[in-house]
Amino acid sequence: MNVNRAEKPNLSWSNPEKFTTEMNFVQNMGSLKAYRVMDHTGNVLQREHDPKLPKEEVHDLYKKMVQLHTMDGILYEAQRQGRISFYMTHYGEEAMIGVAAALQPKDVVHGQYREAFMLLYRGFTIDDCVNQCFSNELDGGKGRQMPVHYGSKKHNFQTISSPLGTQIPQAAGSAYALKMSGSQNCSVCFFGEGAASEGDFHAGLNMAATLNCPVIFICRNNGYAISTPASEQYKGDGIASRGVGYGIDTIRIDGNDIWAAYNATKAARAIAVSENKPVLIEAMTYRIGHHSTSDDSTKYRDRKEVEERAQFDNPITRLRRYMEVNQWWDQQQEEQLRKEVKKDVLQRFAAAEKRKKPAIDELFSDVYDELTPNLVAQKNELERLMKTYPDYYPTADFAPSSSSSS
C-alpha cells in the first residue's frame, strides 16, 4: 500500500534522542516578555525601533484615535438616554490602530467587537458607524445587526458575529482560501482572552498551523472577559503560550503602545504572506470602559483600579507625548482637534438620528438572488395586512419600499 507523505503519522518520536530516563513534570516554562517601543510616557526606548512614520501620518493616526474615543463617549451616553439600543466602547485599547496601519487594504479582517479603529483607518466613516448604531436607512447592514456589529465588503471587514470565537476558524479558512488562490494577502483575526477559552480558538489555531494558513491571530488581552478577570480565565502564561504549543510563531506586545502594535503586525504580516504560516500576537492592554452598556464593571472591580490605569497608561496620551517630544504637537493643536472632532461627531450623530428606518421590504431581500415563492407569498401577505390595518402597522418612520415607490 502506498501512503502519501501527508498521510503518514508523526514519526519524529522514533528518534532515540527524544527520550530520557529522567521523569520530570514541566510546570513552568517561564513568562514571555511583552515587546514595547515606547514607555508609558511616550519616550522611545531604543531609537532603532521607532518606525519613524511621517508627521502627517502620525497626526492622522492620532486624529482617528481621538475620533474613536469621542464617538465612544457620545454613543455610550446616547444609549443611556435610550436613543440607541446598545453600545461597546474601545476605551483603553485605541493603540490597536497601529495594527491597521501595518496591514494592506486587501487583507481580510475578522473582528470581534472592539475593532472600529480598523474600519476608520480604512475609510469607514463616522457617518457609517452612527448610521449602523441607529439601524437607519443608510446603515450598510440594513438594520439587521446589533449596534457596533459592523461589516464592510468594500473595506474587507467581515461582519461581526455576537457569539464568541466563531471568527477564529473562519479566519483560518479564509486565509487558506487566500493561499490557494495565490494571493499576496493574509487574514487577520481579533479576539479577546475570554474568547480564547472557546473551542473555536483551538480548532482555528490548529487548522491554521497544520494547513500553513497565512493568518495573523491578534488577542486583545484586556484583563476582563465581561466580569471574569484574566486571573480566573487561565492559569498558564496567558494566551501566547498556547500559540507556541500549536507550533505558531508568537509574540507578546504592549497593547497600549501604538508602535509596538505597528512593528509587530508588520513583521507578522511578512511572515504570514512570505512563508504561508500563521502568527499569534497577544496584546496586553486594559479595558478601561465597561464591557458594554449592559454591564456595570464597578460591581466586580475597584473604581480606583480603573482610574489609575486610565491615568498611568493611556494609549492616546502616550502617542500625544511622542508627538510632543518630536515637537509635532502642542496644547493649542490638542484643544482645537478635540473641539473640532466633538462638533463633527455630534453633527453626524444628529443627522443619523433623524433618518428613517430601512424600508420594510428589506425584510425579504439579500437572501436569495430571486425571491422564492414562499417569500413572495409572505411579502404579499404583509403588504395586504398593512393596507387593511394601517393603524396596527405604522410606516411613517420607515423609508419608502421599492414596491410603493414604483
Task: Kindly list the catalytic residues.
Answer: 77, 162, 291-292
Distance separating alpha carbons of residues 334 and 200, to the nearest angstrom: 43
Alpha carbon distance 160, 245 (integer Å):
28
- For residue 304, give the C-alpha cell: 480606583
Cβ-count burial 37-71 (b if 16+ within 10 Å, e if not): bbebebebeeeeeebebeeeebbebbebbbbbbbb
CA distance 135 to 75: 13
Is the four-CA dihedral 246, 237, 91, 93 of positive or negative sign?
Answer: negative
Cell numbers for 359: 424600508
Rounded Cα gap, residues 90 and 65, in angstroms: 10
